[in-house]
């Protein structure tokens, strides 16, 4: 039997990737809506035109989208719109894959978890780097004890400013902030996965706006976030949008994990073959399609769990789940408060 | 043999880890080297062709200047003795273990008309100098976010390093290099936030330990220094990434030197505490030559005493931050003079 999967909003740059994948999968019926797309100041297509580009059916309103009775909903709106769409999905008993970060405010995140719990729906967070082969190997080695006791981690998530394609990423209200919000969560999620869900106890963040000043960006574009965890672990995440516009499109994400037996460093987007061709340098990625793995994990869990039963947990809780989303959102929230106050913040 | 350093007699004080590369460097510039040390002087002298003297007084009387390579906690007292004898001083980093001590020796040197240079050798490592020059030339625009890291095999076996009263711990001993680099590349520091895991307990540093320090600079730039005393056998590695408004500079010592080795079957392991250079002349030699020429009245070298004092001051602030759990405002931070 086919699964009915809805895509709610094309605001996030990953919406195209999910649309492409869902359109190509067997036994999936897709329906999409992007009612706010027309008013967005983005250069590329939104709304019906965007859906046509990926060959997926489209409706004009969220009312029609949710009335369709989807089995699952992929939420790819602006961060500040996640709560409303996730609550609407839960209200129709649809399982949810929600873009990161979970929400812009902790209270919104808590409400989303509560709504999905009450409805018995899956709430999975789209942290694709979790599905990188390099991360899987790191995690297996940590779990097997090959690193000894892990005591310190340095994460970087640099990359380019997501400004050209979707300008809301640099809108404090719609995104919840700048680089601190957009990029801290990925590394925080990878660390969460390695620790089995350790909670942050103290966060210090320094941030500035020196990068991309020429674009008139009003959110922070550079940031360093240092986190103490309840298991003693120490981590710092460089969340800066510091890959220049003319820099390589790959790389920028790394995690260096140090234990009493030594260290492992992963750079999930560096796996490639190189060389040259007529156009210049060749970079052929060989690290797999992370969005495809993420979506497979979600859809498998949706199929196995079957229709949501209110008040009952789904049979399969795919990771990273809403709880991870909330823990990582709390780190971002503390980092924002720390950057604003100049003081370290207890979580 | 360097013409500017003709007829040079250097007094080396100390014969531990770092003394070997200093001894080799002085011999390479053609200097005569006298050495005094509580232990190890004979062996060092034999290996590098130095002359052992029986006392510090004898050494101070016979040399043009001294090169102090003793454990950190002894730097202050030996430096003051050299100043009192009217001898110029090159002193291994950290200059002293507290900023107030650094200022005391700087004041004493000024009063005696003696020159004093701290050996912050990383300023002579080609990658760091190239980054400094590129930044000064405006290649990456305004510096925004910088990261520095430095890892070494835990020196736990070497005795005094774990005793924070004697080494200052991993920040004062190892990260002090990158605190100096962060300041050199990103400018003066306004706040310091530091964390370490595992924590130091009763003045004894853990064997395997990492410290993370975040600095805010006057320009608005932010930087991060990470220092690790890793598992025994951890190879010495350093690197940086400096992002500016119009570009990024990156270096990793294990990847970007054009030299990589993998030697088996009894080949001697490389030095785990003192990096070798695959980029031409030893930076230690370049450093000591420049400092010696400076001491002889030549151009001011790229590191002066106040740089050494500031690096110590930043490391001391990092320790204060770990104690309070909050960032330290460098506008108001006063060196307490407490060592640990």
Residues from chain A contacting residue B245 (CB–CB below 8 Å): 210-214
- Range from A33-47, A99-113, B264-278 carrying the lowest mean pLDDT: B264-278
B10, B65 contact by CB (below 8 A): yes
Query: If you average pLDDT over residues A8-25, what whole number do you get?
Result: 96
Whether B28 has its CB under 8 Å from any CB of chain A: the answer is no
Residues from chain B contacting residue A243 (CB–CB below 8 Å): 248
Question: Cα–Cα distance between B105 and B83 in angstroms, integer?
Answer: 8
* CATH class of the region A129-288+330-346: alpha beta
Whether A141 has its CB under 8 Å from any CB of chain B: the answer is no
| Confidence at residue B267, expressed as pLDDT on a 0 to 100 scale | 66
How would residue B335 be classed by pLDDT, with cut points 50, 70 and 90? confident
Question: Residue B1 pLDDT > 70, yes or no?
Answer: no
Q: Which of A151, A152, A204 sits opposite B193 (nearest CB)?
A: A204
Question: Residue B259 pLDDT > 90, yes or no?
Answer: no
Could you tell me where the DSSP H helices lie in chain B?
19-28, 41-48, 56-62, 75-84, 99-112, 126-136, 164-167, 169-170, 176-186, 283-295, 305-324
| Confidence at residue B337, expressed as pLDDT on a 0 to 100 scale | 67
Question: Cα–Cα distance between A127 and B330 in angstroms, integer?
Answer: 39
pLDDT tens, B129-143?
999 999 999 999 999
The 3-state DSSP composition of chain B as helix, strand, coil percent (nearest 5) reads 40, 25, 35
Percent of chain A at pLDDT exceeding 90: 90
| Confidence at residue B269, expressed as pLDDT on a 0 to 100 scale | 62
Flag whether B286 is in a domain: no
Residues from chain B contacting residue A233 (CB–CB below 8 Å): 197
B64, B164 contact by CB (below 8 A): no
**In which domain, by residue range, is B100 found?**
3-121
Residues B324 and B202 in one domain: yes
Residues B217 and B266 in one domain: yes
| Confidence at residue B262, expressed as pLDDT on a 0 to 100 scale | 79
Question: Cα–Cα distance between A168 and B240 in angstroms, integer?
Answer: 31
Query: If you average pLDDT over residues B229-244, what whole number do you get?
Result: 94
Question: Cα–Cα distance between A313 and B237 in angstroms, integer?
Answer: 48
Question: Residue A149 pLDDT > 60, yes or no?
Answer: yes
> Which A positions 173-202 lie with beta carbon below 8 A of chain B?
202
pLDDT tens, B175-187?
999 999 999 999 9
Residues B180 and B237 in one domain: yes
The domain total for chain B is 2
Question: Residue A221 pLDDT > 60, yes or no?
Answer: yes
Residue A154 and residue B209: Cβ atoms within 8 Å? no
Q: Which of A204, A232, A261 sits opposite B214 (nearest CB)?
A: A204
How would residue B158 be classed by pLDDT, with cut points 50, 70 and 90? low
Flag whether B155 is in a domain: yes
| Confidence at residue A38, expressed as pLDDT on a 0 to 100 scale | 84
Residue B224 and residue A148: Cβ atoms within 8 Å? no
Whether A334 has its CB under 8 Å from any CB of chain B: the answer is no
- Range from A62-71, B266-275, B292-301 carrying the lowest mean pLDDT: B266-275
Nearest CA among B66, B119, B175, B68 for reference residue B305: B119
Whether B167 has its CB under 8 Å from any CB of chain A: the answer is no
Residue B209 and residue A156: Cβ atoms within 8 Å? no
Strand partners, A289: none
| Confidence at residue B275, expressed as pLDDT on a 0 to 100 scale | 72
| Confidence at residue A100, expressed as pLDDT on a 0 to 100 scale | 97
Taking CA atoms, what residue in B is nearest to A262? B231
pLDDT tens, B47-77?
999 999 999 999 999 999 999 999 999 999 9
Question: Residue B212 pLDDT > 60, yes or no?
Answer: yes
Between residues A229 and B2, which one has the greater pLDDT?
Answer: A229
| Confidence at residue B268, expressed as pLDDT on a 0 to 100 scale | 64
Whether A151 has its CB under 8 Å from any CB of chain B: the answer is yes
Question: Residue B87 pLDDT > 80, yes or no?
Answer: yes
Q: Which of A202, A211, A224 sits opposite B214 (nearest CB)?
A: A224
pLDDT tens, A309-326?
999 999 999 999 999 999
Whether A272 has its CB under 8 Å from any CB of chain B: the answer is no
Whether B324 has its CB under 8 Å from any CB of chain A: the answer is no
Question: Which CATH number does the domain A3-127+306-317 belong to among 3.40.50.720, 2.60.420.10, 3.50.50.60, 3.30.365.10?
Answer: 3.40.50.720
Residues B221 and B130 in one domain: yes
Residues from chain B contacting residue A240 (CB–CB below 8 Å): 144-145, 243
Residues B138 and B95 in one domain: no
Flag whether B219 is in a domain: yes
Residue A156 and residue B325: Cβ atoms within 8 Å? no
pLDDT, chain B, mean: 93
How would residue B277 be classed by pLDDT, with cut points 50, 70 and 90? confident
Residue A226 and residue B195: Cβ atoms within 8 Å? yes
Our CA-based measurement puts residue A110 at a distance from the nearest CA of chain B, in whole angstroms, of 28
Percent of chain A at pLDDT exceeding 70: 99
Question: Residue A306 pLDDT > 80, yes or no?
Answer: yes
| Confidence at residue B246, expressed as pLDDT on a 0 to 100 scale | 94
CATH code: domain of residue B7: 3.40.50.720
Our CA-based measurement puts residue A244 at a distance from the nearest CA of chain B, in whole angstroms, of 6
Residues B177 and B201 in one domain: yes
Cα–Cα–Cα angle for B158, B162, B166, nearest 5°? 95
Flag whether B131 is in a domain: yes
C-alpha A158, offset from chain centre: 14
Whether A170 has its CB under 8 Å from any CB of chain B: the answer is no
Residues B77 and B184 in one domain: no
pLDDT tens, A40-72?
888 889 999 999 999 999 999 999 999 999 999
Residue A206 and residue B325: Cβ atoms within 8 Å? no
Q: Which of A151, A221, A244 sits opposite B210 (nearest CB)?
A: A151
Which residue among B77, B106, B121 closes a domain?
Answer: B121
pLDDT, chain A, mean: 95
Question: Residue B155 pLDDT > 90, yes or no?
Answer: no
| Confidence at residue B280, expressed as pLDDT on a 0 to 100 scale | 84
Question: Residue B160 pLDDT > 90, yes or no?
Answer: no
How would residue A278 be classed by pLDDT, with cut points 50, 70 and 90? very high
Whether A310 has its CB under 8 Å from any CB of chain B: the answer is no
C-alpha A214, offset from chain centre: 27
Cα–Cα–Cα angle for B51, B57, B58, nearest 5°? 35
How would residue B159 be classed by pLDDT, with cut points 50, 70 and 90? confident
Percent of chain B at pLDDT exceeding 70: 95
Q: In which element (H, E) is residue A4 found? A: strand A3-8
Residue B319: Cβ within 10 Å count: 25
Whether B224 has its CB under 8 Å from any CB of chain A: the answer is yes
Our CA-based measurement puts residue B245 at a distance from the nearest CA of chain A, in whole angstroms, of 5
CATH code: domain of residue B260: 3.30.360.10
Omega cis (within 30) before B266 = no
Residue A206 and residue B210: Cβ atoms within 8 Å? no
Question: Residue B336 pLDDT > 90, yes or no?
Answer: no
Flag whether B299 is in a domain: no
What is the residue extent of each domain of chain A? 3-127+306-317, 129-288+330-346
Residues from chain A contacting residue B209 (CB–CB below 8 Å): 151
How many beta-carbon pairs below 8 A join chains A and B?
121
Query: If you average pLDDT over residues B82-99, what whole number do you get?
Result: 97
Q: In which element (H, E) is residue B240 found? A: strand B237-244
Flag whether B87 is in a domain: yes
């Amino acid at each position: 039997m086919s699964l009915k999967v809805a895509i709610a909003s094309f605001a996030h740059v990953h919406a195209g990737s999910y649309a492409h994948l869902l359109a190509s999968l067997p036994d999936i019926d897709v329906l999409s809506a992007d009612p706010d797309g027309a008013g967005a100041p983005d250069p590329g297509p939104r709304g019906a035109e965007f859906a046509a580009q990926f060959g997926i059916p489209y409706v004009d309103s969220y009312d029609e989208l949710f009335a369709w009775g989807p089995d699952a909903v992929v939420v790819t709106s602006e961060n500040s719109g996640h709560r409303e769409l996730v609550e609407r999905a839960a209200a129709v008993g649809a399982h949810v894959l929600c873009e990161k970060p979970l929400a812009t405010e902790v209270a919104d995140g808590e409400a989303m978890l509560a709504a999905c719990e009450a409805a018995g729906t899956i709430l999975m967070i789209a942290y694709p780097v979790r599905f990188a082969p390099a991360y899987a190997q790191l995690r297996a080695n940590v779990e097997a004890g090959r690193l000894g006791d892990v005591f310190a981690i340095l994460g970087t998530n640099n990359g380019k400013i997501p400004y050209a394609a979707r300008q809301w990423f640099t809108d404090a209200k719609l995104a919840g902030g700048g680089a601190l919000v957009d990029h801290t969560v990925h590394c925080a999620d990878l660390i969460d996965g390695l620790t089995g869900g350790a909670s942050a106890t103290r966060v210090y963040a320094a941030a500035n706006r020196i990068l991309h000043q020429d674009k008139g960006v009003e959110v922070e574009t550079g940031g360093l976030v240092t986190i103490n965890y309840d298991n003693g672990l120490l981590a710092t995440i460089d969340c800066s949008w510091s890959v220049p516009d003319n820099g390589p499109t790959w790389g920028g994400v790394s995690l260096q994990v140090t234990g009493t037996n030594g260290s492992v460093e992963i750079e999930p987007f560096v796996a490639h073959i190189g060389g040259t061709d007529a156009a210049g340098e060749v970079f052929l990625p060989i690290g797999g399609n992370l969005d495809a793995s993420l979506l497979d994990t979600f859809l498998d869990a949706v199929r196995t769990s079957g229709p949501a039963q209110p008040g009952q947990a789904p049979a399969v809780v795919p990771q990273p789940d809403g709880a991870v989303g909330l823990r990582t959102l709390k780190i971002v929230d503390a980092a924002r408060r720390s950057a604003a106050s100049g003081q370290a913040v207890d979580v | 043999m360097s013409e500017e350093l003709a007829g040079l007699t250097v007094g080396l004080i100390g014969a531990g880890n770092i003394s070997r590369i200093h001894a080799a460097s002085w011999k390479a510039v053609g200097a005569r080297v006298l050495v005094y040390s509580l232990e190890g002087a004979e062996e060092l002298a034999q290996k590098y062709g130095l002359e052992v003297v029986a006392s510090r007084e004898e050494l101070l009387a016979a040399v043009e200047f001294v090169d102090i390579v003793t454990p950190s906690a002894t730097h202050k007292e030996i430096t003051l003795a050299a100043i009192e004898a009217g001898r110029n001083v090159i002193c291994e980093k950290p200059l002293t273990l507290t900023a107030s001590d650094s200022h005391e020796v700087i004041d004493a040197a000024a009063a005696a008309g003696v020159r004093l240079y701290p050996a912050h050798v990383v300023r002579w490592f080609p990658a760091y100098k190239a980054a400094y020059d590129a930044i000064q030339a405006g290649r990456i625009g305004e510096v925004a976010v910088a990261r520095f890291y430095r890892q070494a095999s835990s020196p736990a076996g070497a005795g005094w390093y774990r005793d924070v009263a004697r080494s200052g711990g991993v920040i004062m001993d190892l990260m002090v290099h990158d605190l100096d680099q962060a300041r050199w590349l990103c400018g003066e520091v306004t706040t310091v936030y530091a964390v370490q895991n595992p924590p130091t307990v009763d003045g004894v540093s853990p064997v395997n330990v990492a410290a993370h320090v975040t600095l805010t600079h006057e320009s608005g730039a932010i930087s991060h220094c990470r220092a690790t005393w890793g598992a025994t056998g951890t190879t010495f590695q350093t690197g940086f990434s400096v992002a500016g408004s119009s570009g990024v500079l990156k270096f990793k010592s294990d990847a970007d030197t054009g030299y990589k080795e993998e030697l088996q079957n009894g080949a001697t392991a490389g030095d785990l505490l003192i990096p070798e250079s695959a980029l031409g002349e030893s930076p230690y030699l370049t450093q000591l030559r420049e400092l010696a020429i400076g001491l002889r009245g030549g151009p001011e070298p790229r590191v002066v005493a106040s740089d050494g004092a500031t690096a110590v001051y930043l490391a001391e602030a990092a320790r204060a931050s770990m104690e309070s759990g909050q960032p330290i405002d460098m506008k108001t931070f006063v060196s307490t003079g407490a060592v640990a």
